[in-house]
Structure 1
Amino acid sequence: MSLTRDFVKSHGLGNDYIVMTRFPGEMTPERIRLVCDRNFGVGSDGILLLTRASEPFGLRIFNPDGSEAEKSGNGLRIFAKFLYEYGYATNRLFRIQTLGGMVTAEVYPDASNRVDRVKVDMGKATVDPVSVGLANWEKPFVEELLELAPDLRLKGTAISVGNPHFVFFREELDEKFMREWGPKIENHPLFPKRINTQMVRVTGPSEIEIRIWERGAGWTLASGSSSCAAATVSVMLGKVRSPVRVRMPGGILAIEVSPEQEIRMEGPVSEVMSGDFSPDLLALLDSAGK
């Protein structure tokens, strides 16, 4: 069956997205922000829009601030579940084209054909400064100092897993620091396209714990691409061995990192609801476009 409602809402470890096959009217930043608003709209960490209904399936990802994202690990698991359960994908293994490149997803349906776990081949990570989107920086930004204030410099690594990330390590995680400095890192002049940020604590030979500031979304309970970036940098620097268990406030993801920095991510996914936009919300969306 294909989707007959306006949207499906699902989450991966508390990171929730609205899946849609069509958007009412022009998809402007103002309208995206309204739909994602938790008080005046449906409420979500973003929108997943189906743009091609046959393999390779097409996906566009929008942040709650109205901007467009290249890739989302949790979003891809949610989208893969949606494609399989609503009959768009008939095989367990299929490809999805994103702005950040082609990925392969494998779903694991239960006896009732419901999907509660998805594995995604996230592609290859790179520290190439052009791919990461660094400004006026010609070499890989690996364990370099990022100046945030005259008296604050932060050692970290900039890496792309299809979207850009800044990864730094701490012996103890500090939520207050991330909430205060995450926006400043996101909008640092070195990152003209903005960047996602992960604070990482190594907790075992193959385990890390992270806190996340997500570009366009802010403080986030969980993020698939952030987990991939943090795990890859941790393996690359010899701090842990693959496969890596990544702990976040929302839960745990399993990340495999090959010697060539090819990444595979596996984790849970759950549908919350499906529904239709009310006439009142549709009127608000119409007025938001004027």
Structure 2
Amino acid sequence: MTLAFTKYHGLGNDFILLDNRHTPEPCLSPEQAVQWCDRNFGIGADGVIFALPGQGGSDYTMRIFNSDGSEPEMCGNGIRCLARFLADLEGVTEVTYRIQTLAGLIVPQVLADGQVTVDMGLPIVAAGQVPTSLGDPASPVLDLALEVAGQSWAVTCVSMGNPHCITFVESVAAVPLAELGPHFEHHPVFPQRTNTEFVEVVSRDYLKMRVWERGAGITLACGTGACASLVAAVLTDRADRRATLELPGGNLAIEWLEDTQHILMTGPASRVFAGTWVG
């Protein structure tokens, strides 16, 4: 098998991008994606993203396999990378795409300065739709107690098309993320597992975040996680609707619009290198 690929990253959250526009199904299996993502024996990445033909009036469709072979509904950093990849394929510097994902239609706009703004749509806060069995299925989960690894944590749950569990802490640097992450991800109150964010509120417009991603582990950034974290902070009156989210890989600008309730995410997406897999 010989396949051309391009490597991109969004704040260090890195992906292998494949031009899969010739067929509606991914050209790799989840098992092959695991091999490609291996940082010692493969190319190395947090996931493989496939640029597929559009569906239902969209320009393109995005599918992604995580480094463990699982398939998430959406990926905020990943869709920024996909938008830049498509713009590079088409030879344009400013463009807006309508991209179908498993979380619905997402609209990224590639800007002339290299940044990408994404309309991430509406957050979901009803517990049963996140999904989580915490609290009333029809109500938000806001600072509810959750026992994890022998300790009680106050958690807020939000879905951006994929589930997130957010905990506000005094210092994100002090959180033993590698130890706690798997316990949160696989906790029985999350039937589809969960992404987990620990957030430190520096001010009402500046938050620090570290993330354990479902299916990928510790990553340097998570776009949907940053969006979910701002929603959680607004709902618990810790932040304003527009804020900078500082992640280990860099900063994202997040805004939760009051009129439409849509969330806008703006951040970089960078091409790293291109190559050919022969195997």
TM-score, with length taken from structure 2: 0.90
Q: In the alignment, what sits opposite 1:65?
A: 68
Structure 2 gaps, min length 5: none
Contact 2:108-2:117 within 8 A present in 1 as well: yes
Could you say if the C-alpha distance between residues 88 and 65 of structure 1 is closer, same or farther in structure 2, counting changes exceeding 3 Å?
farther
Q: In the alignment, what sits opposite 1:152?
A: 151
Q: In the alignment, what sits opposite 1:35?
A: 36
Could you say if the C-alpha distance between residues 135 and 240 of structure 1 is closer, same or farther in structure 2, counting changes exceeding 3 Å?
closer
Contact 2:127-2:134 within 8 A present in 1 as well: no
Q: Do residues 275 (structure 1) and 278 (structure 2) align?
A: no
Q: In the alignment, what sits opposite 2:166?
A: 167
CA shift for structure 1 position 5? 6.2
CA shift for structure 1 position 176? 4.7
| Aligned-partner SS, 1:69 | coil
Q: In the alignment, what sits opposite 2:4?
A: 6
- For residues 22-56 of structure 1, the C-alpha deviation after alignment (integer angstroms, 9 at most, x for no partner) is 49996333211101101111110101101216843
Tell me which of 43, 47, 56 is aligned to 2:59.
56
AA aligned to 1:34 is: Q
AA aligned to 2:195 is: N
Q: In the alignment, what sits opposite 1:265?
A: 265
Q: Give the Cα–Cα distance (whole angstroms) in 2 for the partners of residues 251 and 169 of structure 1.
A: 19
Q: Give the Cα–Cα distance (whole angstroms) in 2 for the partners of residues 46 and 67 of structure 1.
A: 9
CA shift for structure 1 position 62? 1.2
Q: Give the Cα–Cα distance (whole angstroms) in 2 for the partners of residues 233 and 81 of structure 1.
A: 29
Contact 1:195-1:215 within 8 A present in 2 as well: yes
Q: Give the Cα–Cα distance (whole angstroms) in 2 for the partners of residues 90 and 252 of structure 1.
A: 22
Q: In the alignment, what sits opposite 2:19?
A: 21
Q: In the alignment, what sits opposite 1:287?
A: none
Contact 1:175-1:211 within 8 A present in 2 as well: no
Q: In the alignment, what sits opposite 2:78?
A: 75
Structure 1 gaps, min length 5: 111-115, 283-290
Could you say if the C-alpha distance between residues 143 and 176 of structure 1 is closer, same or farther in structure 2, counting changes exceeding 3 Å?
closer
AA aligned to 2:164 is: H
Percentage of pairs with the same residue: 40
How many residue pairs get matched? 270
AA aligned to 1:141 is: V
Q: Give the Cα–Cα distance (whole angstroms) in 2 for the partners of residues 36 and 14 of structure 1.
A: 14
Q: In the alignment, what sits opposite 1:286?
A: none
Contact 2:26-2:50 within 8 A present in 1 as well: no
Tell me which of 118, 130, 136 is aligned to 2:128.
130
CA shift for structure 1 position 93? 1.5
Q: Give the Cα–Cα distance (whole angstroms) in 1 for the partners of residues 36 and 95 of structure 2.
A: 31
CA shift for structure 1 position 136? 7.2
Could you say if the C-alpha distance between residues 267 and 146 of structure 1 is closer, same or farther in structure 2, counting changes exceeding 3 Å?
same
Q: In the alignment, what sits opposite 1:107?
A: 110
CA shift for structure 1 position 90? 8.9
Contact 1:127-1:142 within 8 A present in 2 as well: no
